[in-house]
Amino acid sequence: MMFLALVLALAVAVFLLPSAAGFHAPLALQSKATSKTFVSFALPPLSSPKEETRRTRVVAGHSVAAAGHLLQFSRLALPLLRGGKVPSPAGLYIASTPLLPAVVGLLLAEAAREDRLASFTYRRLSLSLALSVLPPLAFAATRLSGVARASVLLTSLLTLVAALKSWAYGARGWSLSTSTYLKELAAGARQILAGLLPGYNSLKLNPARWPSSAAYLLSAYFLIFVTLQNLLPSPAPLAIRAWRMSRLQLLSTIAFCLKDAADRGRLAGSTFVRLNALLVVTSAPYAWVLVSGVGPISNPLWGAAFGAIAGLGAVQCLRQVLAKKLQQ
């Protein structure tokens, strides 16, 4: 009940308080953040109070939803640490599931604060995040009950609304006056399809970027394949397969965003360092489950592939950390 009350109270504060009450005003009183903070509070000015209010609601919506996902993570992860035993692979895999929407939501909150939602990276993450919470919504509505059902429904709905708002404001601006939704969706789809072609833009790339770009592209291909594989007939219940697909499609989007960053030489950016770390934290438990055979699926070959993806993310994180240390 504590979880439900906390998320519900924050949701009411974020989405139901009228803008006339000056909900965006306290942000002007907040101190400027340093570059070391995970989510910056330094707000570049927008052109009108209405746009400021929209940004505030998006930031707060993502933050509240991420808090809900992190509370779910803690509820799943803390029991694994009791008794001094090594956590099971399946337990780690299940516990890591809420981390994906939580971290992506925090990245989108930071992008909204700094007025960077127009970037295609954040647009892709916004749409992928919105898609990722649809199976949990359906699962909670049909398979859960009581407080568990209410908490998952509320957190997923908050995530869905915040993610769709992030994409809309990123595509059309805070005033929603530029372009159209269909035009922006078509432009994004064309860019993704072009980016998935193996030789796309390769002649313009620095040859030093080819290995990283190719590795992320192969990772995206594999994750898309595994995502679509869940559409085939399987002994696993439909709800479980749908939930698995939501996780995998978000991972495939992250891999594609990292491929695009590798093409542009932007892997040192803080967003992409965090995405690499997220790739490690969420892929490694899945690799362990598949290799050990303790879950409903035993596939050592796929496990090795997920292990390679986790290794790729770890290597890139280490490279960027070491590079920054050498520059200091």
Taking alpha carbons only, the member of 13, 17, 20, 28 closest to residue 63 is 13
What residues does each domain of the chain span?
Answer: 1-16+46-178, 194-328
Q: CA torsion, points 28, 8, 281, 275, in degrees to nearest 10? A: -40
Report how far residue 246's alpha carbon sits from residue 89's, in angstroms, rounded to the nearest whole number: 20
pLDDT at 183: 81
pLDDT at 294: 66
Distances (CA, A) of 324 to 190, 275, 321, 328: 34, 17, 5, 6
- Structure tokens that stand for 46 in this block: 């927008």
86: which DSSP letter?
A: P
One digit per residue, pLDDT tens: the chain, 328 residues? Answer: 444 344 334 443 433 333 333 333 333 333 333 333 344 445 566 667 888 889 999 999 999 999 999 988 888 777 776 655 656 767 777 778 888 999 999 999 999 999 999 999 999 999 999 999 988 888 777 777 888 788 888 999 999 999 999 999 998 888 887 777 788 888 878 778 777 776 555 546 677 788 898 899 999 999 999 999 888 887 777 777 888 888 899 999 999 999 999 988 899 999 999 999 999 999 998 898 888 876 566 788 999 999 999 999 999 989 988 888 777 6
- Structure tokens that stand for 290 in this block: 């598949």
Report how far residue 177's alpha carbon sits from residue 182's, in angstroms, rounded to the nearest whole number: 14
**CB-based contact 196:222 (threshold 8 Å):** no
Report how far residue 103's alpha carbon sits from residue 107's, in angstroms, rounded to the nearest whole number: 6
pLDDT at 45: 64
pLDDT at 18: 31
pTM of structure: 0.80
